[in-house]
Amino acid sequence: MAGRQIPVVLVAGFLGSGKTTLLNHLLATAGGTRIGVVVNDFGSINIDAMNVAGQVDSMVSLGNGCLCCAVDASGLDAMLARLAEPSAGIDVIVVECSGLADPRELIRMLLAGEDPNTGYGGLVEVVDAVEFDATRRRHPEFAAHLRYADAVVLNKVDRVSADELAALRATVDAEAPGAPVLEAVRGQVDPAFLFDHPERPADTGPRQLSFTDLLAEHDCSEHAHSAYQSVEFTSDRPLDPRALMGFLDDRPSGLYRMKGTVHFGIPGHRQKFLLHTVGNYVRFHRAPWSSGEAHRTALVLIGTDLDAADLRARLADCAAEAPEDADEYAMLPVLRFTA
């Protein structure tokens, strides 16, 4: 007889909405709750996995593509079964979907899953308060995912005005009828809320998961990700901060998301710089290199109509000649965008 099923909670949301930030917050504040994590990156460098590594009880990372297309139900079952080993003592499993995943497909796989120790625990949809309107216009199907949400985290509310927030709330309430909406800055919501989410209301109306919807023919080519591509760039040579800022100022309009680590190697600034761009937003965070970690730049660029060779060449041109001789103002353009 199987014991209690471990709930598997999906965290979904468009590129850069704040899923990894939310996950890190949950991991940091979950207290005694042991969380197993499945991280999915779009792109073959596992930036998200790197950004949560070290905090988790047990992690499976799936690189190289979108979780909903890369695994079939048995693949997902195998990953979950690993995390659900009784010896791991995991209380809840959180699956961070890639920013281009279709959660319906994952819900379907979880509902069809055969592992007796795990069961579907709900969909948490992260909405980017700044980008939501634009994303909704470009990708109506993403807004449609909200109707499957059991809870919505309306994130980055620090970056919108009270009026914008009120308008956004109205839209999200309409798109996710009955789902609780949690306004958040940096994903800071009470984990108890997401792991023990309220029962669905009796009349779940349009949010109800219909098997017809979920079992509908799933054609990956119709996903948003078929229009998106990811470009990886790595460099062992430090990058020149002014040159990199020049690249960022002049990045192609289709380049929606960049994330990864940058190595400048300038005296006083030899730490790792984590770079995030989402739409027009650019932010660096400093972090220590882990012991044994190579001091190198590793970036993933995600967008539409990208010229991969040109982007790689332009980034390669940012390599610094002699970072140790950089003048004292060299880092200023980067530090202006460093949190």
Smallest distance, ligand GTP to C-beta of residue 61, A: 12
Q: Are 256 and 16 in contact (CB under 8 A)?
A: yes
Q: Which is nearer to ligand GTP, 256 or 264 (CB)?
A: 256
Residues 6+ apart with CB under 8 A from 191: 25, 26, 29, 30, 31, 33
Does residue 136 interact with ligand GTP by CB under 6 A? no
Q: Which of 7, 36, 99, 191 binds ligand GTP (CB under 6 A)?
A: 99
Does residue 269 interact with ligand GTP by CB under 6 A? no
Q: How far is CA 264 from each of CA 46, 250, 278, 328, rounded to the nearest angstrom?
A: 21, 20, 21, 13
Q: Is 77 helix (H, G, I), strand (E, B) or coil?
A: helix
Does residue 286 interact with ligand GTP by CB under 6 A? no
Q: Are 283 and 295 in contact (CB under 8 A)?
A: no
Does residue 303 interact with ligand GTP by CB under 6 A? no
x-marked contacts with ligand GTP along 172-211 as a string, rule CB under 6 A: -------------xxx------------------------
CA 15, CA 98: separation in Å to the nearest integer? 7
CA 337, CA 274: separation in Å to the nearest integer? 11
Write out the two tokens for 233: 């760039």
CA 220, CA 54: separation in Å to the nearest integer? 33
Q: Are 41 and 63 in contact (CB under 8 A)?
A: yes
x-marked contacts with ligand GTP along 243-262 as a string, rule CB under 6 A: --------------x-x---
Q: Which is nearer to ligand GTP, 151 or 209 (CB)?
A: 151
Smallest distance, ligand GTP to C-beta of residue 204, A: 26
Write out the two tokens for 3: 């014991």
Does residue 106 interact with ligand GTP by CB under 6 A? no
Q: Are 95 and 106 in contact (CB under 8 A)?
A: yes
Does residue 158 interact with ligand GTP by CB under 6 A? yes
Residue 225's Cβ-side half-sphere holds a number of Cα atoms within 13 Å equal to 23
Q: Which of 58, 276, 297, 311 binds ligand GTP (CB under 6 A)?
A: 276
Find how far residue 271's CA is from the centre of its chain: 23
Does residue 336 interact with ligand GTP by CB under 6 A? no
Smallest distance, ligand GTP to C-beta of residue 158, A: 5
Residue nearest to ligand GTP (CB): 99
Q: Which is nearer to ligand GTP, 189 or 326 (CB)?
A: 189
Phi, psi of 162 (to 5 degrees): -60, -40
Smallest distance, ligand GTP to C-beta of residue 55, A: 14
Does residue 145 interact with ligand GTP by CB under 6 A? no
Element (H, E) at 26: helix 19-29
Does residue 121 interact with ligand GTP by CB under 6 A? no
Does residue 139 interact with ligand GTP by CB under 6 A? no
Q: Is the dihedral of CA 89, 92, 93, 96 positive or negative?
A: negative
Does residue 17 interact with ligand GTP by CB under 6 A? yes
Q: Which is nearer to ligand GTP, 67 or 90 (CB)?
A: 67
**Which of the ranges 153-161, 163-171, 232-240, 260-268 carries the binding residues for ligand GTP, by CB under 6 A?**
153-161
CA 102, CA 215: separation in Å to the nearest integer? 13
The residues binding ligand GTP (CB under 6 A) are: 13, 15-21, 48, 99, 155-156, 158-159, 185-187, 257, 259, 276, 278, 283
